[in-house]
Amino acid sequence: MFEGKQTYVNLEGADRPLENPISQGTVETVRLQRLAKMRKKVIEHDCAGILLYDPLNIRYATDTSNMQVWTMHNPARYCMVMADGPVILWDYHNCEHLSEDHATVDQIRPAISCFYFSAGTRLQERTKRWGAEILDVMKQHGGGNTRLAVDKCEPEGLFLLKELGLDIVEGQELTETARKIKSRQEIELMDWTIKVCEQGMWRMRAHSIDGKTENEVWAELHYENIRNGGEWIETRLLSAGERTNPWFAESSAHVMHTGDMLAFDTDMIGPYGYCSDISRSWTVDLTPPTPEQREIYHVAMDHIHHNEALLKPGMTFAEFNEASFQIPEIYQKNRYGSALHGVGLCDEFPAIPTHVDFAKASEGVFEPGEVVCVESYTGAEGAREGVKLEIQVLITEDGHRRLDTFPFEDWGWAGAG
């Protein structure tokens, strides 16, 4: 815990990357586990296979990675996992060598890019060639089953697959439910990502000083992530002072001043593609809080720890909501959108709203092996500042275990309740 103004933060080993404890054997085990879980879902839904375009789903099923952010908006690589047949990866031009050593991939073929940026006026021509190849795979390896799950697909392609006689099954349920439960080895990878993230947070804390810009502080997290083999950060959610309320202002050239509240949400995709999604708030130059800052921080702490304490296997989402922290009315207008959400390679199912919006929630039950992020944002409408907090929690066989370890501010918080 922290108390008062702190001008020095111990960054042991800050001159070099952290020592990676993950063995190649662990990585190989995770690859095979995840592919097996994806195949199991394909079989459970009576599909011949699943066509994956979402880079995170391809990563989950095969652990192959190629220009992940770019291919999120340029569908230039795709994969088919057959229920009783090969895993075929279609990769970007001249990228076949990137996945040659992956035991999860049986065939690598050149992708046919069926989106306008790449195809232009030849879009229909390319889409027809693409559809013929997908249909051929289904005929060869589908055993007569015409049901094909698809997670995402360009409209032209989806229309064509239906015209070719395939029965398209909505695939996001398959992928989200396959990814929901983590193995012991997956938690090892996630623990490592969290350690890298928290090292970046220490670096951010050390640079939270008067005269720095939000962007300068935010860059410290990126630096630590990238040099330790991490991949990207999904948002830029860091703000200071009056920009913390309402929430969701992204980092900017705004100059911070001593005593301003600084708040952030890491949303960090780290080593091996796993997500560390943690939020903290503190004051610039780590000064003691004002009475207003202390009050909103205490409410945020109550919120986080009350909801964390509820988590256990077998609890339904409705039961969680019924017992969850009731946000004081003064903070409801600027509330955060969710009480908690799943996390793995990124934010995942479920996304459970706060009690205010729970009527919109999905049904479900917490299960052992699920990892969730418990969130809170506290800022009154019209007030100057707000506080963002978030923790990452594993549901265990007999309760839960918090995965992140970065301390909260010791501002006289008395405990949840």
What pLDDT, in 10s, does the model give residues 313-343?
Answer: 999 999 999 999 999 999 999 999 999 999 9
184-402 carries CATH number 3.30.420.40: no
> Is the per-residue pLDDT at 7 higher than 80?
no
By C-alpha distance, which of 211, 303, 191, 305 is closest to 254? 211
What pLDDT, in 10s, does the model give residues 256-280?
Answer: 999 999 999 999 999 999 999 999 9
> Is the per-residue pLDDT at 248 higher than 50?
yes
Instruction: Return the pLDDT at 11.
Output: 63
Angstrom CA distances, 315 to 183, 322, 356, 367, 416, stand at 20, 11, 19, 8, 20
What pLDDT, in 10s, does the model give residues 169-217?
Answer: 999 999 999 999 999 999 999 999 999 999 999 999 999 999 999 999 9
Instruction: Return the pLDDT at 13.
Output: 61
Over residues 127-133, mean pLDDT = 97
* pLDDT band at residue 27 under the 50/70/90 scheme: very high
What pLDDT, in 10s, does the model give residues 132-179?
Answer: 999 999 999 999 999 999 999 999 999 999 999 999 999 999 999 999
For 352, list phi and psi in degrees, rounded to 5.
Answer: -105, 115
- Cα distance between residue 385 and residue 50, in whole Å: 47
Neighbouring CB atoms inside 10 A of 135's CB total 18
Angstrom CA distances, 200 to 146, 251, 344, stand at 48, 16, 19
Contact assessment for residue 327 and residue 319, using Cβ atoms and an 8 Å cutoff = no
* pLDDT band at residue 12 under the 50/70/90 scheme: low
Q: Please count the residues of the chain.
A: 417
Instruction: Return the pLDDT at 414.
Output: 74
Q: Is the pTM of this model over 0.85?
A: yes
Burial 373-402 (b: 16+ CB within 10 A, else e): bbbbbbbbeebbbbbbbbbbbbbeeeebee
Instruction: Return the pLDDT at 2.
Output: 47
- Cα distance between residue 270 and residue 253, in whole Å: 25
CATH of domain 45-179: 3.40.350.10
Domain boundaries, the chain: 45-179, 184-402
